[in-house]
Each structure stands twice: as C-alpha cells, then as structure tokens.
C-alpha cells in the first residue's frame, strides 16, 4: 500500500504525535485523580501515566500502534524496518518496566487506548 502523503507531510504528522498528555490519558485523568492517583508522577521507574505511591499502583495507558496491541496493531507499510524495530523495543521495554516494578512490590496495570471510551 502506497502512502497518500508526501514524505514532508508524513514527517509533519508524525512530529505531532505526543508521548505524554495523549487523548486517552486525558480522558481518564479526572477519574484517576478522584481515585487518588497522581498524573505523570516523577521518580517512578518507567514513567507511568498514573500512580498511587502509597498503595504502590502504577497505571500505563498504552497506544495500540506504539505498544503492539494484539487486537488492533497493524504492521506499518512505510519505513517498515525502522517502525518494526521501534515498536519491538517498546514492547520489550514495557515488559522490562513491568517486571522491575513488580519486583519492587508495585502492582502494574496496563490499559489499552481502545478500552478508554
């Protein structure tokens, strides 16, 4: 499948994709705060989107494309080698971070972006 955008247009679009303060995060921010969670807390391994330090609960909101959702992930068509490497690294990092936090007594919750309505 050929990309319908020029290289410059695609580059511009990709530059606008955020790694924090994403729409799925912001949709549940108020709910999570009401439950006692901090939004983007500092000093916690893996930089969870929400955390309750007292109860040691870390919540990550994972994007379907960026974190290889088994339900919605589709392999990229353009620049395939670069994106597959990046996404596979994200997947490995997610597992490593979850394992490290659990080892320190944290409960880790991962929410797929498609689960947030």
Residues in CB range of 45: below 8 A, 6 or more apart: 97, 100, 101, 104
Domains, the chain, in order of start with CATH, read 19-115 (3.40.960.10)
Report residue 91's pLDDT band, with 50, 70 and 90 as the boundaries.
very high
| Model pTM above 0.75 | yes
pLDDT digits (tens, 9 = 90+) for 20-40: 667 778 889 989 999 999 999
What's the pLDDT at 15? 64
Q: Which of 107, 30, 22 lies closest to 63 in space, CA to CA?
A: 22
Average pLDDT over residues 52-60: 97
Encoded tokens for 54: 């007292």
What's the pLDDT at 85? 94
Q: What angle do CA 101, 99, 40 make, to 5 degrees?
A: 40
What's the pLDDT at 78? 83
């Amino acid at each position: 499948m050929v990309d319908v955008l020029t290289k410059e247009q695609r580059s511009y679009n990709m530059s606008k994709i955020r790694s924090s303060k994403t729409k799925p995060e912001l949709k549940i921010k108020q709910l999570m705060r009401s439950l006692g969670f901090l939004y983007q807390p500092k000093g916690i391994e893996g930089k969870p989107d929400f955390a309750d330090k007292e109860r040691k609960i870390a919540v990550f909101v994972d994007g379907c494309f960026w974190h290889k959702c088994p339900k919605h992930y589709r392999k990229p068509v353009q620049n395939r080698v670069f994106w597959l490497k990046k996404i596979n690294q994200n997947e490995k990092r997610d597992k490593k971070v979850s394992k490290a936090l659990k080892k320190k007594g944290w409960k880790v919750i991962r929410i797929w972006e498609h689960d947030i309505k």
